[in-house]
């Protein structure tokens, strides 16, 4: 089966370009590139009406160099074999880039989730979980799903509950899936993690003179004009955090239309307007564009495509005006368009790095489930007492008197959300500098996508060699 013009083909094209810059044996590179396991199965669904229809579903495990494998489950009519293979491969490279010890996986069910009742979606999700379990494609040490397009915490809770029924003696069973509701084994900060990770990454990138000079932008996030495509979970949180960080959201693109506001949009008010009306259109102070996709071509400093793949291709890449493109979605810029934009001097920050906040915090949730203790429970009070002792010593040595409010604020121990956000921030910043170091080794001749892929390949190859898989 040939995938050279497919989504998986684009991923492999990026892989091949990066692999040529490494010194690993061809056999190891070929193993890294392959999809390890793939299943396609069907099952019947009895609709609320009494009708029966056949549902198609897939799960791909791209790499077993680390276990468990990890990747989302999407409910969409576009789901197919090629898509889940491509997304599973991206998950492998993403986890390696941000030093999360998982192999990559992805799954999907070919349905339009909006066309089914809650009861029908629950039946689909539980049957999907049963099929995964029966085929040994789910478990805290095997394969750990998460949400993707069309799914969320509700579906993850159904998966966890179904797994617990099927494996009642698995004491670590809650770790079979991540992004669960907090009350059902989830972790604070997971919902907004991907959008927050986009913010952390862009803030760090924009703080670097050597990155801003080539794109002719001032250092710092303050005042940067941003356009966001897709106001789902990732795009809405990215827009919020970027606005809070000093950027100005001057445009948004959604399936119902696009808005332009050169003086900036009130992100919270816009999101409230969309919740109330079901559309971004009609928002006061913004101009609706005649063509939705023209929103991607608005004059801006940073474009954040946060919807689905192939939003930017060679058809519209020549009209893109952004100086920085942050791939908050998976594969929003086709590989040939990415090369073209790089040659034009546009800084394309690849998806395998910048949208890795979700899998990073999913990793924290998985660790929490395996350790059976929430973050902060053991150290919070100890750190508060230690901070109080330091503040008291300062008062005694300097004569300074802190108010009760100041003492509470300055000595507050970390809650789970503080620890999660700190770990996410560290992950995004450290990973960014690792990618930059790879690019420096190649004298800045390669783009960030290639540099990030080289970093991923190096780490995966070492993992295979350390496990003794190859002589």
DSSP characters over 350-404? -HHHHTTHHHHHHHHHHHHHHHTS-TTTTTHHHHHHHHHHHHHHHHHHH-----H
Same domain for 108 and 170, yes or no, is yes
How does residue 2 score in pLDDT terms, banded at 50, 70 and 90?
A: very low
Instruction: Give the domain extent around 68.
Output: 7-184
Same domain, 226 and 160: no
The reported pLDDT for the residue numbered 131 is: 97
- Mean pLDDT of the region 233-259: 94
pLDDT of residue 4: 43
198, 179: one domain: no
**Together in a domain, 141 and 34:** yes
pLDDT (tens digit per residue) in 58-114:
999 999 999 999 999 999 999 999 999 999 999 999 999 999 999 999 999 999 999
Q: Is residue 346 situated within a structural domain?
A: yes
pLDDT (tens digit, 9 = 90+) per residue, 263-307? Answer: 999 999 999 999 999 898 989 989 989 888 899 999 999 999 998
66 is catalytic: no
**Is the omega angle on the peptide bond into residue 68 within 30 degrees of 0, that is, cis?**
yes
Residues 173 and 248 in one domain: no
Residue 226 sits in the same domain as residue 311: yes
Q: Is the pLDDT of residue 3 over 60?
A: no
Quote the CA–CA distance of 359 and 194 in Å, as a whole number.
8
Q: How many domains does the chain have?
A: 2
**Within-domain flag for 418:** no
Asked which of 296, 326, 354 is the last residue of a domain, the reply is 354
**Whole-number pLDDT of residue 327:** 96
The owner of tokens 């998806």 is 351
Does residue 147 share a domain with residue 123?
Answer: yes
Confidence of residue 469 (pLDDT cuts 50, 70, 90): low
Same domain, 44 and 178: yes
Question: What whole-number distance in Å separates Cα of residue 302 and Cα of residue 314?
Answer: 19
pLDDT at position 378 over 90? no
The pLDDT of residue 217 is above 90: yes
Question: What pLDDT is stored for residue 1 in this prediction?
Answer: 37
Residue 22 sits in a domain whose CATH number is 3.40.50.10860
Q: What is the pLDDT of residues 341-351, one digit of tens each?
A: 999 999 999 99
pLDDT for res 132: 97
The share of the chain scoring above pLDDT 90, in percent, equals 78
Domain holding 301: CATH number? 3.40.50.720
Domain boundary among 184, 213, 236: 184
Q: Is residue 85 a part of any domain in this protein?
A: yes
Which pLDDT value is given to residue 395? 78
User: For residue 441, is it within any domain?
Assistant: no
Q: Are residues 231 and 261 in the same domain?
A: yes
- From residue 264, alpha-carbon distances to 42, 172, 232, 289, 324 in Å are 48, 47, 19, 15, 18
In the chain, the percentage of residues whose pLDDT exceeds 70 is: 98
Please tell me the predicted confidence (pLDDT) of residue 162: 98
203 contacts 190 by C-beta, under 8 angstroms? no
Give the model confidence (pLDDT) of 29-56 as tens digits: 999 999 999 999 999 999 999 999 999 9
On whether the CB atoms of residues 227 and 305 are closer than 8 A, the answer is no
Other C-beta atoms within 10 Å of 80: how many?
17
On whether both 175 and 228 belong to a single domain, the answer is no
Whether residues 137 and 224 share a domain: the answer is: no
Q: Does residue 380 register a pLDDT over 80?
A: no
- Catalytic: which of 66, 70, 106, 224? 106
**What's the confidence (pLDDT) of residue 394?**
82
| pLDDT value of residue 399 | 82
Does 310 or 435 have the greater pLDDT score?
435
396 or 21: whose pLDDT is higher?
21
| In-domain check, residue 411 | no
Q: Quick one: 314 and 213 in the same domain?
A: yes
- Residue 464 domain-assigned? no
Q: From CA 289, how far away is CA 109, in angstroms rounded?
A: 33
Rounded CA gap, 311 and 254, in Å? 12
Closest CA to 35 of 93, 104, 118: 104
User: 456 in a domain, yes or no?
Assistant: no
| Domain endpoint, select from 155, 184, 213 | 184
In a domain, 152, yes or no: yes
């Amino acid at each position: 089966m040939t995938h050279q013009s497919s989504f998986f083909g684009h991923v492999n094209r990026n892989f091949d370009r990066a692999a040529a810059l490494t010194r690993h044996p061809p056999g190891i590179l070929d193993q890294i590139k392959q999809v390890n396991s793939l299943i396609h199965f069907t099952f019947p669904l009895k609709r609320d009406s009494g009708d029966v229809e056949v549902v198609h579903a897939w799960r791909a495990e791209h790499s077993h160099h680390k276990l468990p494998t990890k990747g989302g489950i999407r409910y969409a009519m576009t789901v197919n074999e090629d898509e889940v293979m491509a997304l599973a491969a991206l998950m492998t490279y993403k986890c390696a880039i941000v030093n999360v010890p998982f192999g990559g996986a992805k799954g999907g069910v070919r349905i339009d989730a909006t066309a089914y009742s809650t009861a029908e979606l629950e039946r689909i999700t539980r049957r999907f979980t049963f099929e995964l379990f029966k085929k040994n494609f789910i478990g805290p040490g095997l394969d750990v799903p998460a949400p993707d397009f069309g799914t969320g915490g509700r579906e993850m809770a159904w998966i966890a509950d179904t797994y617990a029924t099927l494996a009642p003696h698995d004491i670590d069973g809650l770790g079979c899936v991540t992004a669960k509701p907090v009350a059902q084994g989830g972790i604070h900060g997971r919902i907004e993690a991907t959008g927050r990770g986009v913010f952390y990454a862009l803030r760090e990138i924009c703080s670097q003179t050597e990155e801003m000079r080539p794109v002719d932008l001032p250092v710092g996030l303050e005042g940067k004009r941003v356009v966001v495509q897709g106001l789902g979970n990732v795009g809405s949180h990215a827009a919020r955090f970027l606005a809070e960080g000093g950027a100005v959201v001057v445009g948004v693109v959604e399936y119902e239309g696009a808005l332009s506001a050169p003086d900036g949009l009130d992100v919270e008010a816009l999101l409230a307007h969309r919740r109330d009306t079901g559309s971004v259109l009609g928002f006061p102070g913004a101009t609706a564009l005649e063509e939705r996709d023209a929103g991607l071509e608005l004059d801006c400093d940073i474009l954040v495509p946060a919807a689905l793949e192939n939003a930017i291709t060679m058809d519209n890449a020549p009209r893109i005006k952004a100086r920085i493109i942050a791939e908050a979605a998976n594969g929003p810029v086709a590989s040939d368009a990415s090369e073209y934009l790089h040659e034009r001097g546009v800084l394309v920050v690849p998806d395998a790095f910048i949208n890795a906040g979700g899998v990073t915090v999913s990793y924290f949730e998985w660790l929490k489930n395996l350790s059976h203790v929430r973050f902060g429970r053991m150290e919070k009070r100890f750190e508060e007492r230690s901070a109080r002792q330091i503040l008291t010593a300062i008062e005694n040595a300097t004569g300074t008197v802190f108010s009760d409010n100041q003492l509470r604020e300055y000595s507050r121990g970390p809650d789970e959300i503080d620890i999660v956000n700190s770990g996410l921030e560290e992950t995004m910043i450290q990973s960014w500098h690792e990618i930059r170091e790879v690019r420096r080794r190649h004298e800045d001749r390669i783009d960030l996508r290639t540099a990030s892929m080289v970093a991923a390949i190096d780490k995966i190859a070492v993992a295979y060699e350390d496990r003794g898989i190859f002589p």
